[in-house]
Chains A and B, each alone.
Chain A
Amino acid sequence: EAQVTQNPRYLITVTGKKLTVTCSQNMNHEYMSWYRQDPGLGLRQIYYSMNVEVTDKGDVPEGYKVSRKEKRNFPLILESPSPNQTSLYFCASSPPPQNKNTGELFFGEGSRLTVL
């Protein structure tokens, strides 16, 4: 089954304790991206990657890191989480972009993170 898988789905952690949210897709998609969703603000793009070893900042990259060592995986790293990073996080992937279009995004089920 074609899917985007995120882990963990739910996490409560404390300020400053490094954490990684994994994202894996089995559709051989080149484009992957991370979003956070907060009430009243909608989805905001954190980072995106057009291919292996190619990553770029989205609108809200501060406090986050990503890596793209393999095509299927795009982990989101919070080196020192803070309470303002409490949010619902979505990973997404899409087929190879054409004409600078991202193409239809396939989203993971989301990871709800709480930082105390």
Chain B
Amino acid sequence: GQNIDQPTEMTATEGAIVQINCTYQTSGFNGLFWYQQHAGEAPTFLSYNVLDGLEEKGRFSSFLSRSKGYSYLLLKELQMKDSASYLCAVDNDYKLSFGAGTTVTVRA
């Protein structure tokens, strides 16, 4: 079976940094996605990690440790528009398993 865990909610202040953790136990692994989903909208792609290490893309960075079954998404210089749900998903031979998502609320 697939088990993907991430915190349910996080709150942070505008301009701050927030780290969203994701741990996984899956029957296979090809890579790990992070998606952003605003309320009432479709998810949009943020990052995809295949190899261990940190990948930076503007204000967002994603880290992967395959040996630990662990990833995190780092959001820097938080803006109000970053208030959304962040979804971690494990890619296993064309099958995608998502975590339940982490709702991030950015306060002024």
Q: Which residues of A contact B65 (CB under 8 A)?
A: none
Of the candidates A33, A44, A100, A105, the one having the most CB atoms from chain B within 10 angstroms of its own CB is A105
Contact of A42 among B33, B45, B87, B95 (CB under 8 A): B87
- In the complex, whether A104 has a CB less than 8 A from a CB of chain B is yes
Contact of B94 among A42, A44, A48, A90 (CB under 8 A): A48
Counting contact residues on chain B (CB < 8 A from A), the size range is 20 to 34
Q: Which residues of A contact B87 (CB under 8 A)?
A: 42-43
Interface SS of chain B: strand
Q: Which residue of A lies closest to B2 (CB)?
A: A59
Residues of B78-108 whose CB lies within 8 A of A:
87, 89, 91, 93-101
- In the complex, whether A81 has a CB less than 8 A from a CB of chain B is no
* Complex: A9 Cα to B98 Cα, angstroms: 22
* Complex: A40 Cα to B101 Cα, angstroms: 8
* Complex: A20 Cα to B98 Cα, angstroms: 24
State how many angstroms separate the Cβ of A71 from the closest Cβ of chain B: 16
Q: Which residues of A contact B41 (CB under 8 A)?
A: 109-110
Contact of A99 among B30, B96, B99 (CB under 8 A): B30
Q: Which residue of B lies closest to A49 (CB)?
A: B94
Q: Are B100 and A56 in contact (CB under 8 A)?
A: no
Q: Are B94 and A100 in contact (CB under 8 A)?
A: yes
Q: Are A44 and B98 in contact (CB under 8 A)?
A: yes
Q: Are A42 and B100 in contact (CB under 8 A)?
A: yes
What are the nearest 6 A-B pairs in CB distance? A107-B42, A42-B100, A43-B98, A42-B98, A104-B45, A100-B30
A residues whose Cβ falls under 8 Å from a Cβ of B: 31, 33, 35, 40-45, 48, 50, 56, 58-59, 90, 97, 99-102, 104-110
